[in-house]
Chain A
């Protein structure tokens, strides 16, 4: 089998995203976890590009890696977690059961995807490229999905008020 550029790119990005995801949940320091989560988000953005979803890839980097992760880092720096390092992460039987159950879920999904004989659609390249562009998504967003788009503003307003009220020093 000849490895095309697309295949090599996919496996590289997939390996990067899995490796960084494992690093996120195994690092002791939260700052390292955040940095590996950013690596994970960048590799996911690359995977979106292999799926011709340019707009989502850009939004992934700007919103997730740019805004949300900076918020995480900011909170971690703010909380001064130096003495939290001794927060012991012991391996107990409960955790082993949790990991075992998670792998059971993975096996179920693997069975459904790979062995149940489900017919999956094949990609229509021109259509995939067409729907990924900013132009197409913008038109859809302001016609078909206009109502959910407007509702989003209420959600964001609620989040702003909620965050301010939560983080206030005293609740009168």
Chain B
């Protein structure tokens, strides 16, 4: 039987891959996808703890995380479309209008 540690390590590795994606890529859409990767690794942790502790709360939380992720994807992609319309680029190094 697979231990809980294996699931935790797997989700830690996936989370770190997502963090590296956010920190190193410059295409806004790929940064966004890395965030989805991180959300999913946390979901895996929640489901693993839920199954091993016999507590359904973790799976409920995953359900709500997915709802938030769907809302976030819709609003985030709308922001990306608006940005692309105004700046004609998705390079996050060039999108710095909030920087003083």
Contacts and interface: CB of A to CB of B under 8 A. Distances in A.
Contacts of B6: 10, 14
Given A40-B40, A52-B51, A75-B80, A163 B20 contact: no
Nearest to B29: A30
Nearest to A78: B81
Majority secondary structure, B binding face: helix
A159 B75 contact: yes
For chain B, give the interface size range: 35 or more
Interface string A25-51: 100001001100100110010011011
Interface in B3-40: 3-10, 12-14, 16-21, 23-27, 29-30, 32-34, 36-37, 40
Contacts of B4: 120-123
Majority secondary structure, A binding face: helix
For chain A, give the interface size range: 35 or more
B73 A21 contact: no
A34 to B, nearest CB: 7
B33 A44 contact: no
Among B8, B33, B34, B64, the one with the most A-chain Cβ atoms within 10 Å of its Cβ is B33
Contact of A79 (B5, B17, B90): B90
Interface string B68-93: 11111111011111101100011100
Nearest to A118: B5
B56 A123 contact: no
A98 B21 CA distance: 10
B10 A163 contact: no
Contacts of A59: 63, 66
Contacts of B74: 71, 159-160, 162-163
B51 A51 contact: yes
B75 A166 contact: yes
Contacts of B47: 48, 51, 53, 56
